[in-house]
Amino acid sequence: MLLIVLELIGLAVFAASGAVAAVRARLDVFGVTILALTTALGGGIIRDVLLGVHPPTSLRNWPYLLVAGGTGLIVFWFHPHVAKLRRSVLLLDAVGLGLFVTSGTSTALSLGATPYAACLIGMTTGIGGGALRDLLLREIPLVLRREIYAVAALCGAVVVAVGEWAGLPKGLVSLAGAVLIITIRLIALWRKWNAPVARGLEG
């Protein structure tokens, strides 16, 4: 039950980030809701498509749709107040990333994916929704241009894959992977770390 609650909280936070971006782009209420749903559920849908799970899990469980869509509507009506909660949202976003990546990696392994494929699928579960959000807003995905986000996700996925390959308890391995992701993400935010870019570019 605790994991389900945490996962729904992660969905809500991801949906909020999509809805806030949509509000800033001056989309209407339908557009805001669609961006919220896409950001929250996109990564999981991509995971299930890659693993051959049809229909995707998030489309078979109404609480996922209700939480994501409801969060989008709440942000649409109360976005000035949501903007004031930026630090709390970033903290919960890190927690959601940790949960989604580790669960995505474990799911891939349980369905027969190779360890390296499971790592990539797990990372995609965590960052896929945000990438789709940015593409719909005609922007280069944030995870490809700044902030330590995808790297943190991949590190956590590797911990899960290696731990399960070594025969360690799944719960412990998932916890360790999630803690690593959350720690890297929060330190990166605190220290304002960004992945390096090519030097010597003109303009």
Tokens of 125: 């579960």
* Integer angstrom CA distances of residue 141 from 3, 33, 123, 127, 150: 28, 19, 15, 10, 11
Q: What is the pTM of this model?
A: 0.88
Predicted confidence pLDDT, tens digits, the chain (203 residues): 666 777 788 888 899 989 988 998 999 999 999 999 999 999 999 999 999 998 998 888 889 999 999 999 999 999 888 777 777 778 878 888 998 999 999 999 999 999 999 999 999 999 999 999 999 999 888 888 767 899 999 999 999 999 999 999 988 999 999 999 999 999 998 888 887 777 776 65
* Integer angstrom CA distances of residue 76 from 87, 120, 123: 19, 33, 29
Residue from 85, 76, 102 nearest 15 by CA: 76
Residues 32 and 72 sit within 8 Å (Cβ to Cβ) = yes
Q: Rg of the chain's alpha carbons, rounded to an integer?
A: 17
Kindly list the domain boundaries of the chain, sorted by start residue: 1-191
Integer Cα distance of 78 and 71 in angstroms: 10
